[in-house]
Structure 1
């Protein structure tokens, strides 16, 4: 339980909020989280685009508490008291504007909707999924194997989950290519995010109509036939949510793991085969470089207090998943440069990270397993086929994509012996 309300505590935004969209964040988000934790504690006042105020929840315990108490920190964004300050072209609108998506439902309605998604994802055959992921990975490698060089984020990490998800959705090739571009644009929260979101919605509407007349063994068809009796609008919005939370985060999970394995001596010995270290590397990335580093958001249903901060009804809270995973009070990972006696980071098989969130709004149970199958297959196929894979530039020249929300390399150029 959080401590009792203290009226003497400063009210946001008078407590020196920090802009998340800043050069300091782009250069070193971990350093910014550490500074915020030192100055503000586990809950820090921040400013989003257009200087709209929010609370960034940095502490593991606090993120766990917020996500575990949906009656106090809820998902319906219509509770936000700052809507009158939101510009019509605000780049974060696709993330916070209330719609019929499962993401904004609560209580019994959320359980109905999330249950349907869990059912249709749970019906995906894991062996068939692994086969399709390996096939997508092989096809991606074939496209650059003879060149002796590649850019793994664009040519590989982004391609494999996209092709697998496109198959699960029953999308055509032309729809898949456009969807990839638009998904990256939306998650990049730039000025074109609104138009890209509209195109994604149009694609899902056409797909749903097609599956209504020609059903198959795909996610849209299964949602149409599900006993929850979802409306067309609900299905369209949920398909968008599944694609948005499945493609780019999985691509970044693959990219971050490859970056780790190509730059950390603890994994270098495994590049001739890779299989012994892939699972460990995937887990370590979820702790140290989680693909979704921040998630927007939760809205307080009443005045309360969290980690010594007075939270007003209608305040917006951003879940600092990356900061929570590296909270010094709980982080199980050895500091950089320090390893355990067995030569590995201290994560081991610890799965208590918050990378998939927590509580009733965490990723539906089958989703993380699907993402892990895709990511594991992608990395293993690449390392098996290109055993001498190596970075084409010094590690200090690698940069991260400029996103407050996602964590992934801007590019991952590599070299290898061409396959003839």
Structure 2
């Protein structure tokens, strides 16, 4: 099949297609020019997975689609085709400047997706040696995080959030838990706990929604990160920002700040969605309840199942063809845009003939993409999700969804399907004392138990190597809070066995 894409100029900014105020925009139909299906509008908003299956039935593992503004692209639906695309950067580049529509001027930065595809000097838009330099600094710095210690830290913040609403007997687990825990944890890990507040959380949400407040929100986030980079240049500490600015890759201040934003915002969005999706499935899916109550599934395994069924990102724009090629029976032209189809690939009949089948113990999903651009911080995201959900369920064992499942509302964008609210009810209970410091002391303080305890990094030029993390200091042993087994876990798993498992998993 030949490429159906013959790019034509987008309508000018004053055209109704770009209307941003005044009269309401006309409803967008599912079918656009050339008979291609749109990956935006009511049909996509209501049922993106249904739309993916229509495309698979019509075109196979690679389908032509229209993005916002009726911009043509290829959506890759097949599991093996996605792996081939993400693992072959020589054919399918991450450099958006290769997009033919940008080169010929038929696409400009007035498109609503411009914040996603606009080129930035960060590793996600780089290939080859430049990608290795920038990505190496990020992955080396992530590798220095003590994953075992960070779970104790996540548990403290989770309990702090639960304390904020446990006396009321009701909560929205999206706005009061899932959207806050990742930001609290990431601000601590990268080294700016003093910047965490409601304004930072909302700024991240506005950036991801691409609203009219997105530019101001981005300025707020970048201001905090530039201040952090300046502090760490002057006063290094044992945190992610310091490891990044001191890395042999020799980041400029701009590179350091932009990579910190990349890590902060990407980790925030994916983990907030993951937490919300895990909680929803635990509260509504009888399979989850039965397997958890019977001891046949641990929370980390529940997280992994959720990554198959409800990945935090449904798609990722994009890849851009470096030359003419063939993928999934479609002829791709140089300069075409391609979309990594994470959610549709996870239910590809070739790898998952029965969509409802349990994928327990299988990590072949594409929730974190693949190839050289696979998410480097995925284990931190997993830790935040399973530790946070575990802490919440231990504190509120009788938690129940306070609306019918079909009343839950979602917001779908090109890249994600975001649960808007998750209202729950439970028996009111008093706040719990949180042991240990919540916010680390400032410069000069001893490293907290979530941090790496290692000597100051030697001059990379002198050694030519990056030192490995030193030993982790023993954390004070405190008895876990008394708790009953959550209602959905009662059955064949006795309380003592559950507590033993939790103690073993947390490491304290």
TM-score (norm 2): 0.76
2:50 maps to which of 31, 34, 51: 31
1:20 maps to which of 39, 60, 64: 39
Contact 1:145 1:419 survives alignment (8 Å) = yes
1:9 and 2:2 are equivalent in the alignment? yes
Matches within 5 A, 1:197-216: 197-216=218-237
Normalized per residue, the structure richer in helix is: 1
* Structure 2 spans left out of the alignment, 5+ residues: 7-32, 431-508
- 1:348 is matched with 360
Equivalents in 2 of 1:138, 1:175: separation in Å?
A: 17
SS, match of residue 378 in structure 2: helix
Equivalents in 2 of 1:16, 1:181: separation in Å?
A: 38
Equivalents in 2 of 1:394, 1:80: separation in Å?
A: 45
Contact 1:267 1:277 survives alignment (8 Å) = no
1:399 and 2:409 are equivalent in the alignment? yes
1:293 and 2:314 are equivalent in the alignment? yes
1:48 and 2:73 are equivalent in the alignment? no
Equivalents in 1 of 2:268, 2:196: separation in Å?
A: 14
- 1:362 is matched with 374
Q: For the structure 1 residues 251 and 29, does the alpha-carbon distance in structure 2 shift closer, same or farther, using more than 3 Å as the test?
A: same
Contact 2:154 2:185 survives alignment (8 Å) = yes
- 1:251 is matched with 272
Deviations 1:63-114 (A, max 9, x none): 1110011000001111111122334343322221111111111112211211
Name which of structure 1's ranges 193-202 and 319-328 shifts more when overlaid on structure 2.
193-202
Deviations 1:160-196 (A, max 9, x none): 1110001012224445433321221222233433443
* Structure 1 spans left out of the alignment, 5+ residues: 1-7, 337-344
Q: For the structure 1 residues 246 and 20, does the alpha-carbon distance in structure 2 shift closer, same or farther, using more than 3 Å as the test?
A: same
Q: Higher Cα Rg: structure 1 or 2? A: 2
Q: For the structure 1 residues 148 and 270, does the alpha-carbon distance in structure 2 shift closer, same or farther, using more than 3 Å as the test?
A: farther
Contact 1:17 1:47 survives alignment (8 Å) = yes
Equivalents in 1 of 2:147, 2:418: separation in Å?
A: 26
Contact 1:292 1:355 survives alignment (8 Å) = yes
Deviations 1:219-253 (A, max 9, x none): 11111111121111211111111012101110111
Q: For the structure 1 residues 298 and 380, does the alpha-carbon distance in structure 2 shift closer, same or farther, using more than 3 Å as the test?
A: same
- 1:342 is matched with none
SS, match of residue 165 in structure 2: coil
CA RMSD of aligned residues (A): 1.9
Equivalents in 1 of 2:206, 2:388: separation in Å?
A: 23
Q: For the structure 1 residues 238 and 185, does the alpha-carbon distance in structure 2 shift closer, same or farther, using more than 3 Å as the test?
A: same
Equivalents in 1 of 2:243, 2:296: separation in Å?
A: 34
Equivalents in 2 of 1:250, 1:74: separation in Å?
A: 26
Equivalents in 2 of 1:170, 1:401: separation in Å?
A: 31
Equivalents in 1 of 2:79, 2:294: separation in Å?
A: 35
Contact 1:187 1:406 survives alignment (8 Å) = no
Q: Which has the higher contact order (CA 8 A, sep 6+)?
A: 1
Name which of structure 1's ranges 61-70 and 215-224 shifts more when overlaid on structure 2.
215-224
Matches within 5 A, 1:156-305: 156-269=177-290, 276-305=297-326
2:155 maps to which of 134, 137, 143: 134
- 2:491 is matched with none
SS, match of residue 317 in structure 1: strand
TM-score (norm 1): 0.91
Shift of 1:10: 4.6
Equivalents in 1 of 2:185, 2:295: separation in Å?
A: 22
